[in-house]
Structure 1
């Protein structure tokens, strides 16, 4: 890592790390439930599953399936979610200031998410990030997705940045697993979506961070060097 306040490249997961997209996900599953004559699901019940993806959220919304979610239900989820995309999402507290600070330092930031690329590409311009985000990699951009290290390795290579000059920030164990496999330093975002019983202390991240605002604390980045 360089001697500046931030590493040269900070890569982020999207849902649960930069963006609180749980309200859009909730609207999606509740439309699916309504179509089947079922009442709405509380946000608190869905929220822990958001970072696990459409299949996991569908399984949580329809427990009678016993975790066996048919592919057509996944397609239904994605179709409805595209209609709900961005309607209720908000940035987590501190994210806007953090991204501005990274840019002001002369560093760059990008997004590596498991969300399908076509959906992620709709969110970025809606947030005014299309000229700010250095790279966007979705879950189907490459032949592998997290926890495989390929997306992180590809991002660093595409931006001609050494792995030692990158840090990945994510709220799920597979984020940290991907970073470790890539040889990249990582930060576990504790403000994200985690199911009961998750133990981020055991993920192997280089640091645990309670709030995005904590990432404005320059000493934290210095400790990663």
Structure 2
């Protein structure tokens, strides 16, 4: 999409882990706590970082080299999530540049929110710990919908909560399912290639309207229309 086709958004929505917030340090800690309880050596940070956007199931598979059909899998997944909730937002932070970007949106009267596949229990705890929950126009989690991303249902719900037209909204995400969900809802889509992608150039294949290699790239797009 060319710059001429950019439009002033009524709202900008973000994926959570790996897009808006860098949560990898906290998952790194709790995954290694879980492994340590079983006498296993610590995992490398980069291996964990590359897996965070794929969710708790992927992290358990990575940590214990097992499949979901294993008898212990669900117990380990829930144990990991319980550890995470008890140690949430110890080191999680907005990606660099986002405080300025969110402040820009707010100063221009543009709503913002989060659409994530992270369950509400953990999303709310994280956002509250970082003082972001009171600033948002919408938070949509898998608990709130019958079909999750890449289905457009979460995006359409976020638009209703923010009282805006989905076809006048932007969505930023770091996974192909994010771009598909945003496109399916008629939103302008931005692939976040600055987060946890092993190969940032892979985002070019997602057919997003724009690819952001930094938060400043998103801000630059916004400044063209605000």
Query: Would you say same fold, with TM above 0.5?
Result: yes
| Offset of residue 214 of structure 1 | 1.7
2:32 is matched with 30
Q: Residues 77 and 144 of structure 1: is their aligned pair in 2 closer, same or farther, counting only changes over 3 Å? A: same
Distance in 1 (alpha carbons) for counterparts of 2:35 and 2:171: 35
Q: Residues 219 and 107 of structure 1: is their aligned pair in 2 closer, same or farther, counting only changes over 3 Å? A: closer
Moved more, 212-221 or 106-115: 212-221
- Mapping of 1:84-163 within 5 angstroms? 84-163=87-166
Distance in 2 (alpha carbons) for counterparts of 1:219 and 1:123: 26
Maintained 8 Å contact 1:28/1:77 = yes
Moved more, 122-131 or 47-56: 122-131
2:19 is matched with 17
| Offset of residue 160 of structure 1 | 2.2
Moved more, 29-38 or 140-149: 140-149
Q: Residues 5 and 205 of structure 1: is their aligned pair in 2 closer, same or farther, counting only changes over 3 Å? A: closer
1:212 is matched with 215
| Offset of residue 17 of structure 1 | 0.7
Distance in 2 (alpha carbons) for counterparts of 1:221 and 1:43: 37
Show CA shifts across 1:106-128 (max 9, x none): 10100011111011111222222
2:75 is matched with 72
Distance in 2 (alpha carbons) for counterparts of 1:221 and 1:175: 23
Q: Secondary structure at the match of 1:125?
A: helix
1:46 is matched with 48
2:59 is matched with 57
Distance in 2 (alpha carbons) for counterparts of 1:207 and 1:218: 9
Maintained 8 Å contact 1:6/1:218 = no
Return 5+ residue gaps in structure 2 as ranges: 1-5
Maintained 8 Å contact 2:118/2:141 = yes
Maintained 8 Å contact 2:169/2:187 = yes
Maintained 8 Å contact 1:5/1:105 = no
Distance in 1 (alpha carbons) for counterparts of 2:224 and 2:135: 21
RMSD across aligned positions (CA): 2.1
Q: Secondary structure at the match of 1:16?
A: coil
Matched, 1:167 2:208: no
| Offset of residue 74 of structure 1 | 1.3
Show CA shifts across 1:76-109 (max 9, x none): 1111110121001111110100000001111010
Maintained 8 Å contact 1:6/1:102 = no
Maintained 8 Å contact 2:166/2:186 = yes
Q: Secondary structure at the match of 1:140?
A: helix
